[in-house]
Chains A and B, each alone.
Chain A
């Protein structure tokens, strides 16, 4: 008796719970591996999952086992040269410290690390664990495309499909009470008068009056019946109004200094920083746009390719880039609709008076419109004018402006974590 069953459509991820429990349990180890991975990785690699390792001793599931030592015989296959009585040296120096745990492998090759692959999602979870976007805000949109109908009470007119039956019946009921009340009263009076008239001594009865009252009762009863059970006047419709939807769109401006002083290594660091930021935004917003701005003495909006690979270079005027960013915002990304982020990377070397201009521009024009501005200065040297001016901006906008120095690639991730660490709630 044999049955074939096709289980392929069954729920996948049966192990997901176990997998998650494992990851939770070794969170700290994995985070360490992830950190190393982030620093080591090439840019295009960041989006993939990652192989991480955990020291085997930390995840071992101990059982009682024989240790090394004592006396035992081992049977092994593949004898080519030995004869009985041969004496040979212990492989691997024998008896030394460490783990000679159980298994009869004479190769002495134990498992040192437990390695496995995190999926992209898991990997990024760990990368951005405990980080958050500052001032996450959903912007209102006036744009008509972005509205969603919401219920807003009831109206007297509408299409049949939206009739609210309970409401309509309630209205009808109220109307019937209101309309039939006076008629009932009059009817009751007429009936009472009629009865009173009929109870009188037959001699005193007024037949004309009785006939009149009877006619009146009849008329009133007809009127009572004529009150409609339901009237178009009673109908109520569910009201739907279009409400503008908060948008969850973000745009990031990557502003990179490509002046002559920025070496390839500097640019690499900048790129990796932008990339982290991009991945981070991507996880927080439904839609993220990137705007690449590169500048030397003049700023220019470029595409990704050119941003990362163009070799154009020259002197430095930082404010040119800030001006351009401002223009682009005005043109294409109204702050009412977009969450605006600017990440700037530079070696901090700027044209003499320009740093002052930068500060003005930032403090007065840009910062009021931005969600967050980060500045990383990639330099092993002492800070110059730009940094000092930016410090003043930071003092003015302590929550939405952040700057850090990066000396080498290994700093990128820690700095990133610092810039985006989860803050205590502020009003």
Chain B
């Protein structure tokens, strides 16, 4: 047994103690090959923490009423003690910014440092989605640019105009991401410089697109190819856009007929931020699981090395246990699967499979059973997102431990049916089912821009491809209203089931349907 020489005891902290802990955690993290951005640890007050929460973790957000709403909600929850704030604020930037709340006990500060500064931080730096989609070095600059730009817009065009525009953009921001193209990172200065250029150029392009006077398509026989006025053949026939577009906001930014240049820039800003948060939406389980796994491992090492005392480690274990608690489906506290619990269970189990594989593990994971655990975990962290991570690594043991089961909810059947449970026949199905449950493409309705009627009434048509007959929620109307605001002309949405349009939505509503909606 190591002789215990704790760095500090009790629950009070000071900077010197924090720095010493940080150094120790850093040393251990190095041993585990956690590669991180430099850490910038900021000590803040409760109120500042609530601010940070409210602006979805953006260190410098633009102003919008919804962040105010968020703030009030957080404040309410915190006051009533329904929420601990301390855990989870870390920003994917370089240097990586993590917040420590001044009210935290010493244990919490150490825990947050392990969790955020080494867990999340290494995930941000290592995971392929973040590597591909976010540029940690420039995000803070870009946020500053966005904030300044929007403040200028407010000055010039009024708060209400900007607010309505943001409302509309926010409604569509989940459909403002590129899934396949990688955006090129640029700095804020570059962004500001290009912005003017862009707005001029963009407007010119839109003007070209909409330059013909709306009217009937040309009569038959009149071939219009090679028209000097329409070199791109945009008006020559066929559908525009030629391919369906999944990035709604991008399409609007480039094509909406009536937007002013500054409005296009705002659309772009919301789109860019949505893109920045896109990897986070796809790696919740992994990201939280990874950070939780590492705080657990690092804290235990600190204890093993005699650097923390029994009191602290007990306090830690209590806190950790509540974080990874998974209420059962019939518990009043149940609100879906707890990403911390699932992620932690999976990474912990992955280590177990490497270190102490059973026969079952060897059957299920022939390649990793008995392999180097650290290597395997790092590989998993780097190369997957929630969907594929579960598909790849959810083991029968974790399924049993969490007692997962699968229920089929078919509205044509008056009963629900349990289609798989945690037994031999169910493992594979549950694993597939859970992976699907985390696929963004399944979680969110599949909606794309289908056509813009550039020769006729300028209406915009979207298409929704139904997944297993699942209809759109009623929120479709308010979203269409926002879309209409951006587009400026009628918008339509067709819901397709097996290539057949089964439902049409319009905005503005035709007179006779007005009461219906």
Residues of chain A whose beta carbon lies under 8 Å from any beta carbon of chain B: 1-8, 10, 12-15, 17-25, 51, 59-80, 82-90, 95, 99-107, 114-117
Kindly state the separation between the CA atoms of A72 and B407 in the bound complex, as whole angstroms. Answer: 8
| Nearest CB in chain B: distance from A86 CB, A | 4
Closest to B481 in A: A62
Complex contacts, B64 vs chain A, CB 8 Å? 18, 21
| Nearest CB in chain B: distance from A94 CB, A | 8
Kindly state the separation between the CA atoms of A71 and B442 in the bound complex, as whole angstroms. Answer: 12
Complex contacts, A3 vs chain B, CB 8 Å? 38-41, 95
- Whether A73 and B466, one on each chain, are in contact in the complex, defined by CB atoms closer than 8 angstroms, is no
Q: Given A15-B50, A75-B433, A77-B404, does the pair A64, B43 have CB atoms closer than 8 Å?
A: no
- Whether B22 and A15, one on each chain, are in contact in the complex, defined by CB atoms closer than 8 angstroms, is no
- Whether B407 and A116, one on each chain, are in contact in the complex, defined by CB atoms closer than 8 angstroms, is no
Residue among B55, B335, B412, B473 with the highest chain A CB neighbour number at 10 A: B473
Kindly state the separation between the CA atoms of A84 and B407 in the bound complex, as whole angstroms. Answer: 9
Kindly state the separation between the CA atoms of A53 and B15 in the bound complex, as whole angstroms. Answer: 41
- Whether B76 and A116, one on each chain, are in contact in the complex, defined by CB atoms closer than 8 angstroms, is yes
- Whether A63 and B475, one on each chain, are in contact in the complex, defined by CB atoms closer than 8 angstroms, is yes
Kindly state the separation between the CA atoms of A100 and B473 in the bound complex, as whole angstroms. Answer: 8
Complex contacts, A59 vs chain B, CB 8 Å? 69
Tell me which of A18, A65, A100 contacts B68 (CB under 8 A). Answer: A18
Write the B324-347 contact mask toward A (1 if CB under 8 angstroms, else 0): 001111111011110000000000
- Whether B418 and A88, one on each chain, are in contact in the complex, defined by CB atoms closer than 8 angstroms, is yes
Kindly state the separation between the CA atoms of A19 and B47 in the bound complex, as whole angstroms. Answer: 13
- Whether A61 and B95, one on each chain, are in contact in the complex, defined by CB atoms closer than 8 angstroms, is no
Write the B172-183 contact mask toward A (1 if CB under 8 angstroms, else 0): 111100000000
Indicate whether B489 reaches chain A with its CB closer than 8 angstroms.
Answer: no
Kindly state the separation between the CA atoms of A114 and B77 in the bound complex, as whole angstroms. Answer: 11
Write the B210-252 contact mask toward A (1 if CB under 8 angstroms, else 0): 0000000000000000000000000000000000000000000
- Whether A23 and B68, one on each chain, are in contact in the complex, defined by CB atoms closer than 8 angstroms, is yes
- Number of A-B residue pairs with CB-CB distance less than 8 Å in the complex they form: 269
Kindly state the separation between the CA atoms of A89 and B440 in the bound complex, as whole angstroms. Answer: 29
- Whether B473 and A67, one on each chain, are in contact in the complex, defined by CB atoms closer than 8 angstroms, is yes
Kindly state the separation between the CA atoms of A39 and B314 in the bound complex, as whole angstroms. Answer: 49
Interface residues of B in 296-350 (CB under 8 A from A): 326-332, 334-337
Q: List 26 A-B contacts (CB under 8 A).
A: A2-B22, A2-B40, A4-B42, A6-B42, A17-B68, A18-B66, A63-B174, A64-B476, A64-B479, A69-B469, A70-B410, A70-B470, A72-B468, A74-B407, A74-B437, A75-B437, A77-B326, A77-B403, A78-B326, A79-B404, A79-B422, A82-B418, A86-B418, A90-B415, A99-B473, A104-B437
Complex contacts, A82 vs chain B, CB 8 Å? 405, 418, 421
Complex contacts, A69 vs chain B, CB 8 Å? 411, 469-471
- Whether A65 and B473, one on each chain, are in contact in the complex, defined by CB atoms closer than 8 angstroms, is yes
Write the B406-437 contact mask toward A (1 if CB under 8 angstroms, else 0): 11111110111111111101100010011011
Q: A4-B41, A83-B421, A116-B72 are in contact. List 5 more A-B contacts (CB 8 A).
A: A1-B38, A25-B65, A69-B470, A74-B407, A107-B334
- Whether A78 and B327, one on each chain, are in contact in the complex, defined by CB atoms closer than 8 angstroms, is yes
Kindly state the separation between the CA atoms of A68 and B474 in the bound complex, as whole angstroms. Answer: 10
Complex contacts, A116 vs chain B, CB 8 Å? 69, 72-73, 75-76
- Whether B39 and A84, one on each chain, are in contact in the complex, defined by CB atoms closer than 8 angstroms, is no
Complex contacts, B437 vs chain A, CB 8 Å? 73-75, 104
Kindly state the separation between the CA atoms of A7 and B48 in the bound complex, as whole angstroms. Answer: 9
Kindly state the separation between the CA atoms of A322 and B167 in the bound complex, as whole angstroms. Answer: 58
Indicate whether B51 reaches chain A with its CB closer than 8 angstroms.
Answer: yes
Complex contacts, B327 vs chain A, CB 8 Å? 77-78
Residue among B102, B170, B474 with the highest chain A CB neighbour number at 10 A: B474
- Whether B409 and A74, one on each chain, are in contact in the complex, defined by CB atoms closer than 8 angstroms, is yes
Indicate whether B91 reaches chain A with its CB closer than 8 angstroms.
Answer: no
- Whether B26 and A2, one on each chain, are in contact in the complex, defined by CB atoms closer than 8 angstroms, is yes
| Nearest CB in chain B: distance from A233 CB, A | 56
| Nearest CB in chain B: distance from A212 CB, A | 81
- Whether A19 and B409, one on each chain, are in contact in the complex, defined by CB atoms closer than 8 angstroms, is no
- Whether A67 and B472, one on each chain, are in contact in the complex, defined by CB atoms closer than 8 angstroms, is yes
Tell me which of B43, B48, B172 contacts A5 (CB under 8 A). Answer: B43
Kindly state the separation between the CA atoms of A66 and B18 in the bound complex, as whole angstroms. Answer: 46
Residue among B172, B464, B475 with the highest chain A CB neighbour number at 10 A: B475
- Whether B407 and A64, one on each chain, are in contact in the complex, defined by CB atoms closer than 8 angstroms, is no
| Nearest CB in chain A: distance from B102 CB, A | 6
| Nearest CB in chain B: distance from A63 CB, A | 6
Indicate whether B447 reaches chain A with its CB closer than 8 angstroms.
Answer: yes
Q: Given A64-B476, A69-B411, A77-B337, does the pair A5, B405 have CB atoms closer than 8 Å?
A: no
| Nearest CB in chain A: distance from B66 CB, A | 6
Closest to A9 in B: B45
Indicate whether B163 reaches chain A with its CB closer than 8 angstroms.
Answer: yes
Complex contacts, B47 vs chain A, CB 8 Å? 12-13
- Whether A79 and B403, one on each chain, are in contact in the complex, defined by CB atoms closer than 8 angstroms, is yes
Indicate whether B365 reaches chain A with its CB closer than 8 angstroms.
Answer: no
- Whether B406 and A85, one on each chain, are in contact in the complex, defined by CB atoms closer than 8 angstroms, is no
Indicate whether B506 reaches chain A with its CB closer than 8 angstroms.
Answer: no
Tell me which of B63, B330, B422 contacts A18 (CB under 8 A). Answer: B63
- Whether B42 and A7, one on each chain, are in contact in the complex, defined by CB atoms closer than 8 angstroms, is yes
For chain B, the bracket of interface size reads 35 or more
Closest to A104 in B: B336
| Nearest CB in chain B: distance from A270 CB, A | 33
| Nearest CB in chain A: distance from B503 CB, A | 11
Q: Given A12-B45, A78-B329, A80-B328, does the pair A65, B475 have CB atoms closer than 8 Å?
A: yes
Kindly state the separation between the CA atoms of A89 and B418 in the bound complex, as whole angstroms. Answer: 11
Indicate whether B478 reaches chain A with its CB closer than 8 angstroms.
Answer: yes
| Nearest CB in chain B: distance from A307 CB, A | 34
Kindly state the separation between the CA atoms of A71 and B419 in the bound complex, as whole angstroms. Answer: 13
Indicate whether B486 reaches chain A with its CB closer than 8 angstroms.
Answer: no
Closest to A72 in B: B409
| Nearest CB in chain A: distance from B456 CB, A | 25
- Whether A8 and B171, one on each chain, are in contact in the complex, defined by CB atoms closer than 8 angstroms, is no
- Whether B411 and A63, one on each chain, are in contact in the complex, defined by CB atoms closer than 8 angstroms, is no
- Whether B472 and A117, one on each chain, are in contact in the complex, defined by CB atoms closer than 8 angstroms, is no
- Whether B76 and A62, one on each chain, are in contact in the complex, defined by CB atoms closer than 8 angstroms, is no
- Whether A62 and B482, one on each chain, are in contact in the complex, defined by CB atoms closer than 8 angstroms, is yes
- Whether B68 and A22, one on each chain, are in contact in the complex, defined by CB atoms closer than 8 angstroms, is yes
Tell me which of B75, B411, B436 contacts A71 (CB under 8 A). Answer: B411
| Nearest CB in chain B: distance from A61 CB, A | 6
Indicate whether B85 reaches chain A with its CB closer than 8 angstroms.
Answer: no
Indicate whether B445 reaches chain A with its CB closer than 8 angstroms.
Answer: yes
Kindly state the separation between the CA atoms of A71 and B436 in the bound complex, as whole angstroms. Answer: 14
- Whether B73 and A114, one on each chain, are in contact in the complex, defined by CB atoms closer than 8 angstroms, is yes
- Whether B479 and A71, one on each chain, are in contact in the complex, defined by CB atoms closer than 8 angstroms, is no
Indicate whether B67 reaches chain A with its CB closer than 8 angstroms.
Answer: yes
Complex contacts, A67 vs chain B, CB 8 Å? 470-474
Closest to B66 in A: A61
- Whether A87 and B332, one on each chain, are in contact in the complex, defined by CB atoms closer than 8 angstroms, is no
Kindly state the separation between the CA atoms of A85 and B425 in the bound complex, as whole angstroms. Answer: 12
Interface residues of B in 31-66 (CB under 8 A from A): 38-45, 47-48, 50-51, 54-55, 63-66
Kindly state the separation between the CA atoms of A67 and B403 in the bound complex, as whole angstroms. Answer: 28
Complex contacts, B79 vs chain A, CB 8 Å? 117
| Nearest CB in chain A: distance from B326 CB, A | 5
Complex contacts, B472 vs chain A, CB 8 Å? 64-67
- Whether B419 and A73, one on each chain, are in contact in the complex, defined by CB atoms closer than 8 angstroms, is yes
Indicate whether B117 reaches chain A with its CB closer than 8 angstroms.
Answer: yes
Kindly state the separation between the CA atoms of A169 and B379 in the bound complex, as whole angstroms. Answer: 85
- Whether B406 and A105, one on each chain, are in contact in the complex, defined by CB atoms closer than 8 angstroms, is no
Indicate whether B402 reaches chain A with its CB closer than 8 angstroms.
Answer: yes
- Whether B51 and A115, one on each chain, are in contact in the complex, defined by CB atoms closer than 8 angstroms, is no
Indicate whether B145 reaches chain A with its CB closer than 8 angstroms.
Answer: no
Closest to A5 in B: B42
Complex contacts, B334 vs chain A, CB 8 Å? 78, 105-107
| Nearest CB in chain A: distance from B82 CB, A | 12
Indicate whether B71 reaches chain A with its CB closer than 8 angstroms.
Answer: yes
Complex contacts, B479 vs chain A, CB 8 Å? 62-64
- Whether A8 and B72, one on each chain, are in contact in the complex, defined by CB atoms closer than 8 angstroms, is no
| Nearest CB in chain A: distance from B290 CB, A | 19
Q: Given A61-B66, A117-B75, does the pair A7, B43 have CB atoms closer than 8 Å?
A: yes
Closest to A95 in B: B411
Tell me which of B65, B405, B406, B474 contacts A22 (CB under 8 A). Answer: B65
